[in-house]
Amino acid sequence: MLRRNRKKKNSRSSKSGAEDLPQVVFKPKAADKAAEQGIMIACRGIEQFPAASDLIAQALLARADQIMLDYSQQGVAIRIRVNGLWESLPPLDRETGDPVLVILKKLCNLNPTDRRSRQIGTLPLSMKGTDWIVSFTSQGIATGERVLMRIEPKKQVLNNLGDLGMREKMQQQLRDLLNSNKAIFVFSGVAGHALPTMWRVGLESADRFVRDFHSIEDVTVGDPELINIGRHTFDTAAGETPMTVLKSLLLKQPDALILPDLFSPEIAKLICSEVANEGRYAITRIVAGSSIEAIIKLMATYPASAKSLVKLTCGCINLRLLRRLCTECREPFQPTPQLLQKLGLPAGRVQTLYKPNIPPPPEQRFDAQGKPLEIEICKQCNGRGYYGRMGVFELLQLNDEIRQALLKKPDVQSVLAVARKSGFLTLQEEGALAVAQGLTSLQELQRVLYPAKKA
């Protein structure tokens, strides 16, 4: 619970009944140390400072990666995003919510009196020894003002393919593909499912010490800088194009070209020719629901180079994020043979599957006589049933049969039928393996992969 209307800072451990939240240490950035101290003194002087701290602490404790505040006449609605899903927190009244926003804006070095314009700032902070960066955006809207805070750990926590949840054999296959020559590799995925993270971790798993890696990026797109990869940016506002940057880069004879986008038919054509004739390696990425769809989409986007793209592409990866079952409270159950068949798992091999243990909402925690039920809420996941997320991946390795199928009929189902013959497993099948291992639940797999079919 948020403790509201606390009169004094030292009333923290009072009889309010709320458990004590850890202290958040704000580290505002300003022109100099004195200005930063000035901000802190001004903020601490506001009575609702502990409420601002508690709001952030509550989100961090829940492992939320976003906080949304909606200011309207009636009050302040608060939502946090945990494991990719939005949850509501008890609202604040304006009496508390307004000063909290003043504090947050001051901490981000923004103008607290402006409640209409779009304001963007960042706020470094720490809690229990871990450093975080909050990206703050506020914007006046028809009903009032909306605030979005994205929370990211200062230190990247996902550093290798294993951290992302990729199984070992696939990690090796992916590394081999990323270290081949005279080929194109494609990363693909959908919005909100960690494609940029996969891109960073995947590229960092390639051998960049033996070969010369160079990327071409739009200066306005905020991809994180990669270790041991030469970065070449173009600024369209300054009249630069990816083509001019690429041409000057090619003079340096790079081994591998990293293109977050193929940008234009001319670049797609030039890349294909550099790969085919100069033996270079190229990596690109595209938004698509599956590996096969990604290749078909590339062919459709660059029809003049479709044949070359198919011929040169060695592989394509795609991923989804699934919530991980909380290992402290997941519930085992015996799957029926029908369920195993539906999952494509051999009968007899898997004795136990797991489902999330989600307690009923507080208003339903009574028995038939109206007596309150004793329900223990899991301390690790706080009754969410899930704790953190993991990736499931499908890795398509192109061979001549798959290439022929793509060129003959660029259609997901017919290409899939051919790809299966070489052992290709889809996201659904890879996800079923994760369910069989008790890492995630069937419900979660269905929620993520078949959102339209959800009841």
- Pick 380 or 404: Cβ nearer Zn ion: 380
Query: Is 381 among the residues that bind Zn ion (CB under 5 A)?
Result: yes
Q: How far apart are CA 46 and CA 333, in angstroms?
A: 53
- Pick 289 or 359: Cβ nearer Zn ion: 359
- Pick 247 or 379: Cβ nearer Zn ion: 379
Q: How far apart are CA 322 and CA 395, in angstroms?
A: 17
Q: Are 343 and 435 in contact (CB under 8 A)?
A: yes
- Pick 26 or 386: Cβ nearer Zn ion: 386
The alpha carbons of the chain give a radius of gyration, in whole angstroms, of 26
Query: Is 328 among the residues that bind Zn ion (CB under 5 A)?
Result: yes
In this structure, the dihedral spanned by the alpha carbons of residues 292, 296, 299 and 302, taken in order and rounded to 10 degrees, is -110
Query: Is 326 among the residues that bind Zn ion (CB under 5 A)?
Result: yes
- Pick 295 or 378: Cβ nearer Zn ion: 378
- Pick 206 or 329: Cβ nearer Zn ion: 329
What is the nearest approach in angstroms of Zn ion to the Cβ of residue 329? 3
What is the nearest approach in angstroms of Zn ion to the Cβ of residue 332? 14
- Pick 309 or 325: Cβ nearer Zn ion: 325
Amino acid at 353: L
Q: How far apart are CA 56 and CA 127, in angstroms?
A: 9
What is the nearest approach in angstroms of Zn ion to the Cβ of residue 291? 33
How many residues are present in the chain? 455
What is the sign, positive or negative, of the torsion defined by CA atoms of 263, 264, 265, 270? negative
Query: Is 418 among the residues that bind Zn ion (CB under 5 A)?
Result: no
What is the nearest approach in angstroms of Zn ion to the Cβ of residue 152? 24
Burial class for 362, CB neighbours closer than 10 Å (0-12, 13-18, 19+): exposed
- Pick 381 or 434: Cβ nearer Zn ion: 381
Query: Is 378 among the residues that bind Zn ion (CB under 5 A)?
Result: yes
Which of the ranges 14-22, 206-214, 236-244, 376-384 carries the binding residues for Zn ion, by CB under 5 A? 376-384
Could you say which of 24, 329, 350, 425 contacts Zn ion (CB under 5 A)?
Answer: 329
- Pick 161 or 353: Cβ nearer Zn ion: 353
Sequence-distant (6+) residues with CB within 8 A of 56 are 24, 67, 125, 127, 134
What is the nearest approach in angstroms of Zn ion to the Cβ of residue 416? 36
Which of the ranges 158-166, 318-326, 339-347, 417-425 carries the binding residues for Zn ion, by CB under 5 A? 318-326
Closest CA to 195 of 322, 323, 320: 320
> Is 196 in a helix, a strand, or coil?
helix
Q: How many residues bind Zn ion (CB under 5 A)?
A: 6
Per-position DSSP letters for 206-251, written without gaps between them:
S-TTTS-EEEEEETTS-PPPPTT-EEEEE-GGGT--HHHHHHHHHT
What is the nearest approach in angstroms of Zn ion to the Cβ of residue 325? 8
What is the nearest approach in angstroms of Zn ion to the Cβ of residue 378? 3
Cβ-count burial 435-444 (b if 16+ within 10 Å, e if not): bbebbbbbeb
What is the nearest approach in angstroms of Zn ion to the Cβ of residue 62? 13
Could you say which of 5, 380, 404, 422 contacts Zn ion (CB under 5 A)?
Answer: 380
What is the nearest approach in angstroms of Zn ion to the Cβ of residue 387? 6
What is the nearest approach in angstroms of Zn ion to the Cβ of residue 326? 3
- Pick 183 or 329: Cβ nearer Zn ion: 329
Query: Is 62 among the residues that bind Zn ion (CB under 5 A)?
Result: no
- Pick 66 or 357: Cβ nearer Zn ion: 357
What is the nearest approach in angstroms of Zn ion to the Cβ of residue 64? 16
Q: Are 20 and 12 in contact (CB under 8 A)?
A: yes
Which of the ranges 142-150, 201-209, 321-329, 443-451 carries the binding residues for Zn ion, by CB under 5 A? 321-329
Which of the ranges 32-40, 119-127, 375-383, 399-407 carries the binding residues for Zn ion, by CB under 5 A? 375-383
- Pick 55 or 353: Cβ nearer Zn ion: 353
Torsion-angle region of 100 (φ positive above 0: left; ψ -120 to 50: alpha; else: beta): alpha
Query: Is 82 among the residues that bind Zn ion (CB under 5 A)?
Result: no
Which of the ranges 90-98, 142-150, 310-318, 374-382 carries the binding residues for Zn ion, by CB under 5 A? 374-382
Closest CA to 136 of 224, 69, 195, 62: 69
What is the nearest approach in angstroms of Zn ion to the Cβ of residue 382? 7
> What's the order of all strands across the beta sheet hosting 230-234?
230-234, 213-218, 256-259, 281-287, 184-189, 313-325, 386-397
Beta strands in 291-447 (DSSP E): 313-325, 331-333, 353-355, 386-397
In this structure, the dihedral spanned by the alpha carbons of residues 298, 302, 305 and 306, taken in order and rounded to 10 degrees, is 40
Query: Which residues contact Zn ion (rule: CB under 5 A)?
Result: 326, 328-329, 378, 380-381
